[in-house]
């Protein structure tokens, strides 16, 4: 865990708005705000974004909770909101985005929460250059999100890196999802989503898992290695998913485990996995 760290160097009643840069725990903001100090030991929520198009710049500061509540919360009425530039720890969900469109989370560090980022519904969320580590849930949890883009993030040493149920038409690219207790990516009933050019070393149960009802997704050029279970696994009731040019090496189980005859598998490679078959249901290179 230390090595990876070195690599990356409750909804409460609506509070009164805070329009200036000096914000207290539990305040709501309705205009662009840059914090001028840390917010420590927040008993409930940290900061609520309560209007459209508002940027909350943490200014390099920390928002710290008591294990309950939400660090930064943006409800449906806050489309186009941006959260950036600091650290959140000690919350149920460090950043909670519910509904709305075009929300952005970038360049923040999330540690010692349950979920780092929870995206519930909504469309067009962008998550980029986020570092999430030592969270006991997921780095990113995205139930029913649509058209999300998750790129250039580092999620290391969490219980899971990415979890999603009912998500659609989203994209995950150029991320590092590593050393999770359970999984790198786990999708259930996810459709039309692209997972491309991600590195997933040393995850627990599996690197990528598509559960039942996950249909029409593309896994392309991902490198899954050194996990304790299967590298890339597809449930029997997942269908019409395309796998191309993925590498799944040195995992404890199979490199690929998929329903027989999975559609559109192309130039996938599996080597030195614990199961000597290397691949089930996917045509992949042999060692």
pLDDT in tens, 147-173: 999 999 999 999 999 999 999 999 999
Sign of the torsion formed by the C-alpha atoms of 141, 148, 33 and 8: positive
Place 3 in a pLDDT band, splitting at 50, 70 and 90: very low
The pLDDT value recorded for residue 266 is 77
Instruction: Say whether pLDDT at 7 is over 80.
Output: no
Instruction: State the DSSP code for 4.
Output: H
Share of the chain above pLDDT 70, in %: 90
Instruction: Say whether pLDDT at 16 is over 90.
Output: no
Pairing of strands 268-271, 206-210: unpaired
Q: How many CB atoms lie within 10 A of CB 148?
A: 24
Straight-line distance from the first to the last Cα atom of the chain, in angstroms, rounded to the nearest whole number:
30
Residue 274: closest CA among 247, 238, 250, 242: 250
């Amino acid at each position: 865990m230390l090595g990876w760290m070195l690599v990356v160097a409750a909804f409460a009643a609506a509070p009164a708005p805070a329009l200036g840069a000096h914000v207290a725990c539990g305040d709501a903001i309705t205009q662009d705000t840059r914090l001028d100090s840390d917010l420590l030991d927040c008993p409930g929520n940290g900061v609520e974004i309560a209007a459209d198009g508002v940027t909350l710049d943490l200014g390099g500061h920390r928002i710290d909770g008591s294990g309950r509540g939400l660090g930064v919360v943006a409800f449906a009425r806050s489309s186009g909101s941006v959260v950036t530039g600091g650290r959140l720890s000690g919350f149920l969900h460090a950043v909670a985005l519910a509904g709305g469109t075009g929300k952005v989370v970038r360049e923040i560090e999330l540690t010692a929460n349950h979920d780092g980022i929870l995206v519930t519904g909504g469309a067009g969320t962008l998550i980029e250059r986020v570092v999430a580590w030592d969270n006991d849930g997921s780095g990113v949890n995205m139930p029913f999100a649509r058209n999300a883009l998750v790129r250039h993030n580092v999620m290391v040493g969490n219980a899971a890196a990415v979890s999603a149920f009912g998500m659609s038409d989203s994209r995950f690219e150029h991320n590092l999802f590593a050393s999770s207790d359970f999984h790198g990516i786990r999708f259930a009933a996810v459709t039309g989503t692209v997972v491309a050019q991600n590195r997933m070393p040393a995850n627990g149960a599996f690197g990528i898992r598509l559960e039942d009802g996950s249909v029409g997704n593309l896994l392309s050029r991902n490198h899954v290695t050194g996990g304790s279970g299967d590298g890339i696994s597809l449930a029997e009731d997942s269908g019409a998913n395309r796998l191309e040019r993925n590498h799944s090496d040195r995992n404890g189980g199979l490199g690929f485990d998929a329903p027989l005859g999975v559609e559109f598998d192309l130039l996938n490679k599996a080597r030195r996995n614990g199961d000597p078959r290397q691949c089930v249901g996917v045509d992949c290179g042999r060692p």
